[in-house]
């Protein structure tokens, strides 16, 4: 587990670290625009998932105390637990990527569907190492858990694989409550590794209207969507924080299954919901897949190199 020794602390901030965190936020925001790729998975790969969940939980609880006007003294301690040097640059990077890159990314995915799917397939497949490694580091496992763990991963992956094979809808003129509900569901996917908010929106028929609203800066639509996202955060982040704290290994195994099953959505050769064999021009997509996987593996390797000494030092105390 990467960041648990530092939860609740405020690491020293430098311009370089702030810019790096902003770049991480841009990557998370960028992939959230792509159906089939999960922002939560990218947060895992970048090593900030635990810290984001913990800080978001503190922030939500602190704001709830302010709104409900209860225990004002406890509000300060809650907000003090928020790692602002992480949350704020991440948020800035995400919003910049969402608004600045929505059009070019949508054009790339739309005009190069096979190449883009192959690239993201390699990235997501390689990212499976992250929750697997975190589950292994979560604590000692018993004989039964070593057997049940892979079974649970395969079961979750099978369910997701089947669900992703269902045809998607298309909503032409969504009403306000549908937009709010879509925001709630999408942010749940952002908080859970392996679930793609964009793909869920695509399945619900809300991907095109939402992407168009972002591209055209439709303020009314975006406000309703953000309101729904806020509702989703209040419930999902707290539940996820509890599960990571109390049932960490099981939660990470479920995340592994979600990511594994979501690979179906990224298979480069599809006809609607049907999976096809690779065509004759398979070489370039293969290179894109390998390149995407290599990029994630490089990030994972750097992450493990930087974390291992910190974990050993913490265990030695």
Per-residue tokens: 209? 């209207």
Position 194 scores a pLDDT of 62
Q: Which domain holds residue 151?
A: 4-111+118-305
Give yes or no for a contact between 249 and 141, defined as CB atoms under 8 angstroms apart.
yes
List, in order, residues 6 or more apart from 307 with CB less than 8 Å away.
Answer: 2, 47
Residue 311 lies in a domain: no
Q: How far apart are the first and last CA of the chain?
A: 17
For 217-282, give the DSSP string.
T-HHHHHHHHHHHHHHHHHHHHHHHHHHHHSHHHHHHHHHHHHHHHGGGG-SSEETTEE----S--
Burial class (CB in 10 A: 0-12, 13-18, 19+), 85: middle
Residue 65 lies in a domain: yes
Q: How far is CA 42 from the centre of its chain?
A: 6
Residue 312 lies in a domain: no
- Please count the structural domains in the chain: 1
Residue 315 lies in a domain: no
For the four alpha carbons of 207, 210, 214 and 216, in that order, the dihedral sign comes to: positive
Residue 35 lies in a domain: yes
Phi, psi of 138 (to 5 degrees): -70, -20
Position 310 scores a pLDDT of 44
Residue 314 lies in a domain: no
**Closest to 203 (Cα-Cα) out of 260, 156, 267, 265:** 265
Residue 273 lies in a domain: yes
pLDDT tens for each residue of the chain, 317 residues long: 343 434 344 454 577 788 888 988 888 887 777 766 677 777 877 778 888 888 887 887 777 777 666 655 555 666 777 888 888 989 899 888 878 877 787 778 778 888 888 988 888 888 888 788 878 877 666 777 777 888 989 999 999 888 877 766 566 677 888 888 888 877 776 667 666 677 677 767 777 788 778 777 788 888 988 888 888 777 777 777 788 788 888 888 888 888 888 788 788 898 877 888 888 889 999 999 999 888 888 877 776 676 554 444 434 44
**Other C-beta atoms lying within 10 Å of the C-beta of residue 89:** 21
Burial class (CB in 10 A: 0-12, 13-18, 19+), 171: middle
Residue 316 lies in a domain: no
Sole residue written with tokens 């939860």? 7
Position 189 scores a pLDDT of 66
Q: Is 317 helix (H, G, I), strand (E, B) or coil?
A: coil
């Amino acid at each position: 587990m990467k960041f648990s020794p530092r939860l609740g602390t405020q690491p020293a901030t430098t311009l370089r670290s702030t810019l790096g965190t902003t770049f991480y936020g841009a990557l998370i925001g960028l992939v959230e625009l792509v159906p089939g790729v999960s922002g939560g998975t990218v947060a895992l790969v970048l090593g900030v998932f635990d810290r984001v969940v913990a800080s978001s939980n503190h922030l939500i609880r602190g704001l709830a105390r302010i709104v409900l006007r209860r225990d004002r003294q406890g509000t300060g301690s809650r907000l003090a637990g928020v790692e602002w040097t992480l949350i704020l640059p991440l948020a800035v990077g995400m919003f910049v990527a969402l608004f600045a890159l929505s059009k070019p990314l949508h054009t790339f995915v739309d005009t190069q569907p096979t190449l883009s799917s192959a690239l993201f397939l390699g990235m997501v497949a390689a990212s499976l190492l992250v929750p697997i490694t975190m589950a292994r580091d979560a604590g000692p496992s018993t004989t039964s858990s070593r057997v049940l763990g892979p079974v649970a991963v395969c079961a979750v992956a099978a369910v997701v694989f089947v669900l992703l094979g269902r045809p998607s809808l298309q909503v032409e003129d969504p009403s306000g409550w549908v937009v709010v509900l879509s925001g709630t569901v999408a942010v749940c996917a952002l908080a859970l590794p392996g679930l793609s908010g964009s793909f869920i929106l695509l399945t619900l028929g809300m991907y095109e209207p939402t992407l168009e609203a972002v591209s055209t800066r439709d303020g009314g639509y975006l406000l309703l969507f953000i309101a729904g996202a806020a509702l989703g955060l209040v419930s999902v982040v707290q539940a996820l924080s509890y599960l990571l704290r109390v049932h960490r290994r099981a939660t990470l195994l479920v995340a592994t299954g979600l990511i594994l099953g979501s690979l179906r959505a990224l298979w480069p050769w599809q006809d609607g919901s049907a999976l096809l064999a690779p065509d004759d021009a398979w070489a370039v997509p293969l290179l894109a897949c390998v390149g995407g996987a290599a990029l994630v593996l490089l990030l994972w390797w750097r992450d493990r190199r930087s974390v291992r000494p910190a974990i050993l030092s913490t265990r030695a105390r």
